[in-house]
Amino acid sequence: MARTPSNMLPLGTIAPDFNLLNTVSLKKETLTQWKGEKGTLVMFICNHCPFVIHVNPEIVKMAENYQNKGIQFIAISSNDIVNYPQDSPELMKKVALKENYNFPYLYDETQETAKAYDAACTPDFFLFNAKLELAYRGQLDDSRPGNGIPISGNDLRLAIDNLLENKEINSMQKPSIGCNIKWKN
């Protein structure tokens, strides 16, 4: 299991727009369509990564807690499906339904969106404010598969809470750790 850290895109970066396939609705959708009133969390995830599987229940719970407060969650998978067919759009839809994703699960076939966000791993979290300026990029919490630390979402929850309360978000942020994005050759 690879342990790839986030690249830590500079804070204040404007969220790159995208037009990606929603694997559940089978329609192309954009960041503008899904942008949250108070903030938007863009997550790079995939189906097979043990780090993502480990945090799936917490990200679903967090979306349930924060979407009604104006924070929109968006998940994107950018993995090469030729070499990693378990991350295909058809199987993404199955995972979204099985895990009860209450947010869009989009497929980045060209990998251009992952490159625009400088995403490196799954999961990789990018929290943007209402103006789509990057406010947080980093880990969900200190829990990892097999390390015995319970999943809490503390780091990301604190960032979202501070965003909602118009408080400063600490710029010292720990990178997310996970499987590397499976880039096409």
* Neighbouring residues of 173: CB distance < 8 A, sequence distance ≥ 6: 8, 136, 137, 138, 139, 155, 159
Neighbours of 154 (CB within 10 A): 13
Instruction: Reply yes or no on whether the pLDDT at 2 is more than 70.
Output: no
Residue 86 has φ and ψ, to the nearest 5°, of -65, -10
pLDDT tier, 4 (very low <50, low <70, confident <90, very high otherwise): confident
Percent of the chain scored above 90 by pLDDT?
93
Tokens 């990301």 identify what position? 156
Phi, psi of 137 (to 5 degrees): -145, 120
| Both tokens assigned to 93 | 């839809």
Confidence of residue 6 (pLDDT cuts 50, 70, 90): confident
Strand partners, 127: 41, 136
pLDDT digits (tens, 9 = 90+) for 34-43: 999 999 999 9
Is the confidence at residue 131, as pLDDT, over 70? yes
Q: For residues 173 and 153, what is the distance between their CA atoms, to the nearest angstrom?
A: 14
pLDDT surpasses 60 at 67: yes
Contact by Cβ (8 Å): 5, 177: yes
The token pair that represents 61 in the structure block: 């719970």
